[in-house]
A and B are shown apart, each in its own frame.
Chain A
Amino acid sequence: MSAAANTDQIPSETRPVDTAPNPDGVAGMAFPPQFTAEFVEASRALEQEWRANFDAVSRKFGVNPGDYERHTDSGLPVKPAYFPHDVAGQGYETLSAPGMFPFTRGLHPVQYQFMHWANQPVIGYGLPEETRKRMDYLQSQGMTGYFGNTFYNLVYDLVSHEGVDPDHPAAEGRVGQCGMAVYSREDDARLFDGLQLDRINVVHISYYEVLPVLAHYLAYARRRGVPWGRLGGNSMSWYYQSAYVGMTCFPPKAGMNLAVELVNFCTREMPRWNTVNIFGYGMEESGATAVEELAFSVATGIDYARACVASGLHPDQFLSRFGFQISQSNDFFEEICKIRALRRLWARKCQALGARDPKSMHVRIHTHTSGAMLTAQQPINNLIRTTLHAFGAALAGVQAMEVSTFDEALAIPTEHAHTLALRVQQIIQEESGITRVSDPLGGSYYVESLTNQLEAAAERIIEEVEARGGYHQCHDFVRTRIEASAARWRDLADAKERILVGMNKYQAAETQAIDIFKVNPDSERIAVERIRALRARRDTGRWGKAMSVLDDAARRFTAGEIGVLMPAMIEASDADATTGELMGVLKLHLGWAPPY
């Protein structure tokens, strides 16, 4: 999970040249209409003729042509066939070329011709050493980022997300579950020792413990002698997801301020670091439609960017370090068009925010293939689903990918399942031939029409969010919409109007005939022993002083000061403060409660 498609890793001599110095148009060009008026008229006449034939067949199937209608999974109406006149009104400058504003067809002049998208499977379970074993294994199986470098997409465990330490009473049974048991700078050493930190890209998948886990990584890197400016990777800054999931959280404004603090710190200290990840994936997993994912992702980005501008930054200083993590779900074409619409919509919004550098307008997309559409029933079927999802993402032209494993609906992936998910990417990359051509679906009357529909539908929701004062002011609105969509989806599934093979159709009497991964039962005990040993061993005086400085910094941060919190947190981590302790300070000052 991440938007770590870190194009800044590409050496400048080979970095794709962005050829849109003037983002207001394609080098100022205004394109003539795509088709002559005469051609459009002929196209319309042709559609009428075809439609009469279609309607005749429709009647044979007992369907009154007047009643025939089909919709995408988001509810957008689609015709049974598309014609040139469906896109005739569209100025070609809205499509432009790969690497040119508004980037509908891709961010760069090249897509996958010289380099594939980055393989970024999510990894994380048990002790740091156990996670490291899986990292090394997948690397040995060909998991590849840009220029042969390895990207590690690492997820922290539930205990870390809650901001407690593993010996907290609530942690029982959850240590090293759904992520790795990493709670200190010392644990980072167990995870990363031996890896060349400036040659890898590390995504830290954390929820609200973003600053503490990055503090551990930076304190660790400093001790290894690696300058922060040479570190590549991602922090997620997913504070806004408290609108659509029920985990305990910081209040919306406080969360946004934490992101602003991080953006300011990284702008100053580590320009290669990706600071904010717009987590559309989480929205669609929670039930949002493709249109809602698109709209709420852009609305979040606008809101966070505005807060950064208010802190004194220029959009071109930080926007290129915003990334997107987008879901690729079941409706094949709608999901592809969602990504094309997202690129165009975001570029325009960033331009409106005052961005001038094309890189600031890029939607660098890490695809996470849908987990919510995978079934516990007949789990091997999920391999087929994820292949379709990944194939769609590749056709849409994304920068990085996590393909869900076929045992997603059952447990943390086994090594076998993890490897197969990587093979899905590799087979598409190396065997299908689709990497030869950028935006291979561009120009399809259907794809361009649907891209326009998605953009327009999302724009309407964005306007509604903006009218409510921006995303962080209307979490209730976001939650209500997403919950309603989740309920609608499930009702349709129950009514068999949404088919999930093996779940509501073609069921088979079966038991789970696959191996299920289980975290080593000793991990929890060892993690608890380690954190206790760390607290007993550390220099209490130094730790106490650092915690008191952090407490003061958090007080000043709460009062509106930017720039003191992150440095204080790194020093506290260096003095062996744990994630639970660092989060404790933030919770005390900012508030910590369920979102509703």
Chain B
Amino acid sequence: MGADMIRVLLCKTTMECHDRGVRYLATKLRDAGLEVIFMNFLEPREIIDTAIEEDVDVIGVSSSVEGHLPVAREVTRRLAELEKENVLVVFGGVIPERDIALLRETGVREVFGPGSSAAAIIEFIRANARVRSFKLESEP
């Protein structure tokens, strides 16, 4: 029996208080059986440091107050440098529609705006994250 072990890094800049959504999402992903690492970041490079250290499959960045484009550019650029493009990067929060295409250009795979359901996000992650199956020694 293999178990899906999708590891998700959820993060939000320390600078803002609009974290109700991302903290709710962290709970829902955990309840759905995903491994969740939640962090507040000051500089985008901290996201990458943590993502590498924790060997995550997904990076989810929540943004409610602008500043998402520089973060997306830095995160995707560093992932490419490290040849870790197989890490799925998604954004969520209050993202103006005109920025969605710009985010996608950087390599962000999906943007979940206000009102998105946790179920839709989980479905997207399951369908698109790299899947690593582990076999426990004791199992046939």
Contacts and interface: CB of A to CB of B under 8 A. Distances in A.
A182 interface: no
Contact of A247 (B17, B43, B68, B98): B17
Given A173-B71, A174-B67, A486-B20, A377 B115 contact: yes
Interface in B45-99: 65-71, 94, 96-98
B106 interface: no
B101 interface: no
Contact of A245 (B19, B115, B118): B19
A196 interface: no
A75 interface: no
A143 interface: no
A146 interface: no
B67 A177 contact: yes
A178 B16 contact: yes
Contact of B40 (A161, A247, A372): A247
Given A173-B71, A409-B94, A247 B14 contact: yes
B128 interface: no
Given A246-B40, A409-B94, A158 B67 contact: yes
A503 B15 contact: no
Nearest to B96: A516
A286 B94 contact: no
A285 interface: yes
Contact of B17 (A173, A241, A287): A241
B27 to A, nearest CB: 6
Most buried by A among B14, B43, B70: B14
B17 A411 contact: no
B117 A494 contact: yes
A174 B40 CA distance: 15
Given A282-B17, A409-B114, A177 B94 contact: no
Most buried by A among B67, B97, B117: B67
Contacts of B15: 158-159, 161-162, 170, 174, 247
Contacts of A594: 14, 40
Contacts, number: 102
Nearest to A169: B43
Interface string B16-27: 110110011001
A376 B16 contact: no
B17 A207 contact: yes
B20 A248 contact: no
Contact of A287 (B20, B114, B115, B117): B20
A158 B65 contact: yes
B115 A486 contact: no
Contacts of B114: 375-377, 409-410
A169 B115 CA distance: 31
Interface string A526-538: 0000000000000
A409 B71 CA distance: 21
Interface residues of B, number: 31
B12 interface: yes
Interface string A275-312: 00000001001110000000000000000000000000
A284 B100 CA distance: 30
A44 interface: no
Nearest to A408: B94
Contacts of B67: 158, 172-174, 177
A19 to B, nearest CB: 40
Contacts of B98: 516
A241 B20 CA distance: 13
Contacts of A512: 96-97
Most buried by A among B40, B68, B69, B115: B115
Nearest to A502: B115
B65 A246 contact: no
Nearest to B74: A172
Interface string A231-258: 0000000000100011110000000000
B32 interface: no
A170 B13 CA distance: 9
Interface in A463-509: 483, 486-487, 490, 494, 500, 503-504
Given A162-B14, A375-B115, A486 B94 contact: no
Contacts of A376: 94, 113-115
Nearest to B23: A483
B131 interface: no
Contacts of A483: 23-24, 27
A270 interface: no
B23 A494 contact: no
26 contacts: A158-B65, A161-B16, A162-B15, A162-B42, A170-B15, A173-B67, A173-B68, A174-B65, A207-B17, A245-B19, A248-B42, A282-B17, A286-B19, A287-B24, A375-B115, A376-B114, A410-B96, A411-B96, A483-B27, A490-B24, A490-B118, A494-B118, A503-B115, A512-B97, A516-B98, A594-B14
Interface of A: 158-159, 161-162, 169-170, 172-174, 177-178, 207, 241, 245-248, 282, 285-287, 372, 375-377, 409-411, 483, 486-487, 490, 494, 500, 503-504, 511-512, 516, 518-519, 594
Closest 6 CB pairs of A and B: A173-B67, A376-B114, A158-B15, A245-B17, A173-B70, A174-B67
